């Protein structure tokens, strides 16, 4: 088990915590990941679950996550169209982060 102090100190260029924050730091990213943790989801399912997100934002974050290799997108060229998003193996490594955040957040007054 890695000690937290292993990650302490100056980290201007490449701190693991900073890099993680660059990915999941956005307003919606963690919520999208949370939704995808329970399995493959369609665009409209995510839009419904993430009440309040604009289509533009949802598309942008999903695009970023795909680009980072954390989410995979499958497009079915049917009419009407259907796309599905799911976490890649790399993306599933975010689960402990979300779980820890949920645990912390639930204890917040």
Distinct helix (H) and strand (E) counts, the chain: 6, 3
Q: 84 by DSSP, 3-state: which?
A: strand
Among 17, 20, 40, 63, binds DNA (CB under 7 A): 63
Return the bridge partners of 72, or none.
86
Nearest residue (CB) to its own copies, 62 versus 80: 62
- 101 is an interface residue for its own copies by CB under 8 A: yes
59 is a site residue for DNA (CB under 7 A): yes
What span, in angstroms and rounded, lies between the C-alpha atoms of 69 and 35? 17
List interacting residues with DNA (CB under 7 A): 26-28, 42-45, 52-57, 59, 61-63, 73, 75, 80-83
């Amino acid at each position: 088990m890695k000690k937290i102090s292993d990650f302490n100190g100056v980290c201007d260029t490449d701190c693991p915590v900073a890099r993680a924050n660059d990915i999941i730091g956005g307003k919606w990213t963690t919520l999208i990941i949370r939704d995808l943790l329970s399995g493959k989801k369609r665009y409209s399912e995510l839009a419904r679950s993430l009440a309040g997100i604009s289509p533009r934002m949802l598309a942008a974050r999903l695009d970023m996550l795909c680009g980072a290799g954390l989410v995979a997108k499958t497009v079915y060229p049917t009419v009407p169209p259907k796309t599905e998003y799911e976490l890649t193996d790399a993306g599933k490594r975010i689960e402990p982060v979300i779980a820890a955040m949920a645990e912390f957040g639930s204890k917040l007054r």
